Amino acid sequence: MTTATEEKVIKFQIHRQDDENAAPYFEEFEIPYRANMNVISALMEIRRNPFNKKGDKTTPVSWDMGCLEEVCGACSMVINGKPRQSCTALVDQLEQPIRLEPMKTFPVVRDLQVDRSRMFDSLKKVKAWIPIDGTYDLGPGPRMPEKKRQWAYELSKCMTCGVCLEACPNVNSKSDFIGPAPLSQVRLFNAHPTGAMNKNERLQALMEDGGLSGCGNSQNCVEACPKGIPLTTSIAALNRDTNLQMFRNFFGSDKEV
């Protein structure tokens, strides 16, 4: 039977790793319960008073965070087996002991902190930005039709948290697949009136090794995305676009089909 005292304690099992080459292990913690705590506030409590369940003093847990309101994407981790944002993971809604692990898709820096360079390098590969030369005023840019703007806005919610890459079975150390987030960003920037200038370059990048062909259509990404971004819809649209680009390449034409 659970006592009243035990009900006021939050139990954690946290993945610890001193550095990228160190052996990982789990350390248990117990902290006083407070209503409406999220995982981040619990980790802050452990950092403030770094004693484990046995009462031994230990090193503070290392993790990434930024905005604390599910905008920056920095605090992604695996919570009770599910990749998600720790700032919006409420303790009251989690089964205890709460198990915290780093995302395995990315190299561990320390404890729950990972190096997401793989994802950012993929965004560079597909030119996920709108290049505009010069620092002078170019005046207002072309307007985007309202219907297109509405679905493009949904794609723009991506906060590069890496959760979709963690959920995707095709993104791993043995694969060079760039993952769902960069794919969706290609669709976003190709839809922009100015970004469309580099549409062919982006599609060409998706047709190379590690591009669109690496998707196994498991659809884990769209289920895991904390922003509800229609990632699989983007992937389907890009399949069409890359096929048309392949025909343009074959016939030596730069015109839209």
Q: Are residues 132 and 236 in the same domain?
A: yes
| Tokens encoding 32 | 């006083």
Q: Whole-model pTM?
A: 0.89
Tokens 């789990």 locate to 26
pLDDT band at 7 (very low <50, low <70, confident <90, very high): low
Tokens 């981040």 locate to 40
Tell me the per-residue pLDDT of 148-168, one tens digit each, with 9 for 90 and over.
Answer: 999 999 999 999 999 999 999
Percent of the chain with pLDDT over 70: 95
Residues 14 and 25: their CA atoms lie apart, in Å, by: 8
pLDDT band at 241 (very low <50, low <70, confident <90, very high): very high
> Which one-letter amino acid corresponds to residue 137?
D
CATH code for the domain of 13: 3.10.20.30
Q: Are residues 58 and 131 in the same domain?
A: no
pLDDT band at 255 (very low <50, low <70, confident <90, very high): low
Residue 257 lies in a domain: no
Q: Which of 97, 114, 131 is the last residue of a domain?
A: 114
Tell me the per-residue pLDDT of 185-204, one tens digit each, with 9 for 90 and over.
Answer: 999 999 999 899 999 999 99
Q: Are residues 87 and 145 in the same domain?
A: no
Residues 100 and 239: their CA atoms lie apart, in Å, by: 36
- Does residue 122 carry a pLDDT above 50? yes
Q: Are residues 50 and 62 in the same domain?
A: yes
pLDDT at 78: 98
Domain that holds residue 23: 4-114
Tell me the per-residue pLDDT of 37-95, one tens digit each, with 9 for 90 and over.
Answer: 999 999 999 999 999 999 999 999 999 999 999 999 999 999 999 999 999 999 999 99
Q: Which tops the pLDDT comparison, 252 or 195? A: 195
Q: How many CB atoms lie within 10 A of CB 33?
A: 15
Supply the mean pLDDT for the chain.
Answer: 92
Q: Are residues 161 and 186 in the same domain?
A: yes
- Does residue 251 carry a pLDDT above 90? no
Tokens 């503070």 locate to 60
Residue 130 lies in a domain: yes
> Which one-letter amino acid corresponds to residue 10?
I
